[in-house]
Amino acid sequence: MQSVDVRRLAAWLQEAAPPLLLDVREDWEYAIAHLPGSLLIPMGQIPARHETLPRDRPLVVYCHHGMRSAQVVAFLTGHGFTQVHNLAGGIDAWSVQIDGALPRY
């Protein structure tokens, strides 16, 4: 499984061709904190909606700590996605290491 740490992702988001951020948490979690520009598809909806995701652009999947997103990355990889990465430590790591103003829960 490919993963990316928050510092690498922060740099990647500044590049000309940033990845699509896929948030697989629940609506209530997204309402507390999310990364700007991210697409919310809760983990339970991924099997029904994965075909709507682009295959021609890198995806970085994230959740709270990286466990659910790791499962989604495995699912997407198993369904032919080749440019999919798990955000190590999830949005919590982003809050701690990149943006301390982002609420933690």
Which of the residues 46, 60, 63, 73 is marked catalytic? Answer: 63
Q: Centre a 10 Å sphere on the Cβ of residue 13 and count the other Cβ atoms it contains.
A: 15
Who's near 3: CB < 8 A, 6+ residues apart? 66, 70, 73, 85, 86, 87, 88
Residue 28 annotated to the active site: no
- Please spell the DSSP secondary structure of 48-64, one letter per residue: HHGGGS-SSS-EEEE-S
Tokens 């990316």: give the residue.
Answer: 4
Residues with active-site annotation: 63
